[in-house]
């Protein structure tokens, strides 16, 4: 076994990945590939907890998500990349953990209460949705992960995971380490309407967008809301376009915009055009790799099969221990 600390994280395949996902999670995962023993997986069962009525696109989303991952630089050479539903051991552990998880722990879960309130259009009064964190706990501890890189919204789930692991260890035998959240700082970049970038807000720029689509989206971006006319000076410090500049433009452009915006020498239209070209260039390597994998679906499938094989070995070994600890 490797000496590196093991981490694990997952994403629900609910659609193509956007810049919020890139800066909020993926870049962080890519960095971690060199320092940790990384397990990253596509949580298709979790997608079903809320989208059980429309599972239609999941298979396509899974392949697209793996292509997005490979395009940004996750690689099977460094990480174990796999799909949750291919490893039935997750379901077995979920079942066994559900025996020992008190329902009030789940009812208290803040994301549960929030989502039930927010997603009025879906009927989420299901057993599976309530049990979401139990499945997530199974995902994590079946690999004995020590760290879980997540955004702040997922911290309560990792907390429940720790409680479940502790309870298992107490009831039967010390099998699981208690995993810790590794907080990913939330992205500084916002959607084109200045809200959090999200598919459901229709305000996202996708990794798979073409240069034309990127130009169109950028031209719609809301800038400094106080800058009403071209002759008004603007404030880059509160402008989402400027935040993009700081990531995707060179020093010279950043300094120029920072100065000429404040004196109204540059207008937002031109400023956005310059930013869009920087963004297009910055994402070019990702678009190129995406084209490569899109033309080689067998290679993508092969990566999934191989990652799944590796993950399954670990999961199956843990399940042996689990069954033995329970005496079943
Ligand atoms: N619940 C996570 C999300 O919505 C996805 C997920 C499922 C996950 N299982 C996990 C994340 C295990 C980390 C570890 O983003
Ligand atoms: Fe934002 Fe650029 Fe307009 Fe200034 S000029 S408000 S930085 S878009």
Ligand 1 contacts CB of residue 184 (under 6 A): no
> 59 CA to middle of ligand 1, Å?
18
- Check residue 118 and give its pLDDT: 78
Q: Which domains does the chain have, with CATH numbers?
A: 6-189+297-326 (3.40.50.620), 211-290 (1.10.240.10)
Q: What is the pLDDT of residue 123?
A: 85
- DSSP-assigned states of every residue in 220-257: T----TT--STTS---GGG-HHHHHHHHHS-HHHHHHH
Q: Which residue, by CA, sits nearest to atom 8 of ligand 2?
A: 268
pTM of the model: 0.94
Rounded CA separation 199/216 (Å): 17
What is the per-residue pLDDT for 1? 52
Q: Return the percentage of the chain with pLDDT > 70, whole number.
A: 99
- Residue 200 has what pLDDT? 86
Q: How far from the centroid of its chain's Cα atoms is residue 276's Cα?
A: 24
Length of the chain: 328
The two structure tokens encoding residue 31: 């960095």
Tokens in use for 169? 């260890």
Residue nearest to atom 3 of ligand 1 (CA): 11
The 10s digit of each residue's pLDDT in 110-153 is 989 888 887 777 888 899 999 999 999 999 999 999 999 999 99
Give me the chain's average pLDDT, please.
Answer: 95
CB 221 within 8 A of CB 192: yes
10-residue stretch averages of pLDDT, the chain, 328 residues long: 88 94 95 97 95 87 97 98 98 98 96 82 89 98 98 95 98 98 87 94 97 98 96 97 98 98 98 98 98 96 97 98 98
């Amino acid at each position: 076994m490797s000496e590196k600390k093991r981490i694990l994280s997952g994403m629900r395949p609910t659609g193509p990945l956007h810049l919020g996902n890139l800066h909020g999670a993926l870049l962080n995962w890519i960095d971690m590939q060199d320092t940790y023993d990384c397990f990253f997986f596509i949580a298709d069962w979790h997608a079903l907890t809320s989208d059980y009525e429309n599972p239609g696109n999941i298979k396509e989303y899974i392949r697209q998500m793996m292509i997005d991952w490979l395009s940004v630089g996750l690689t099977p050479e460094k990480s174990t990349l796999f799909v949750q539903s291919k490893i039935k051991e997750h379901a077995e552990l979920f079942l066994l953990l559900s025996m020992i998880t008190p329902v009030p722990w789940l009812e208290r879960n803040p994301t549960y209460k929030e989502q039930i309130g927010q997603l009025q259009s879906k009927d989420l009064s299901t057993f599976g949705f309530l049990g979401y964190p139990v499945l997530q706990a199974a995902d994590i501890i079946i690999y004995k992960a020590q760290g879980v890189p997540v955004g702040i919204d997922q911290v309560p789930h990792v907390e429940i995971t720790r409680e479940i692991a502790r309870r298992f260890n107490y009831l039967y035998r010390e099998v699981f380490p208690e995993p810790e959240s590794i907080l990913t700082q939330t992205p500084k970049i916002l959607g084109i309407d200045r809200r959090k970038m999200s598919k459901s807000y229709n305000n996202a720029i996708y990794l798979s967008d073409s240069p034309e689509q990127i130009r169109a989206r950028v031209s719609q971006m809301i800038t400094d809301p106080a800058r009403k006319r071209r002759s008004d000076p603007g404030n880059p410090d509160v402008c989402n376009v400027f935040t993009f500049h700081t990531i995707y433009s060179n020093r010279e452009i950043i300094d120029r915009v920072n100065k000429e915006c404040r004196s109204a020498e540059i207008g937002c239209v031109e400023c956005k055009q310059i930013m869009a070209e920087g963004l297009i260039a910055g994402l070019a390597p990702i678009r190129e790799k995406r084209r490569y994998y899109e033309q080689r679906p067998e290679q993508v499938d092969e990566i999934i099969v191989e990652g799944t094989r590796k993950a399954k070995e670990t999961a199956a070994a843990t399940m042996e221990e689990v069954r033995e600890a329970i005496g079943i």
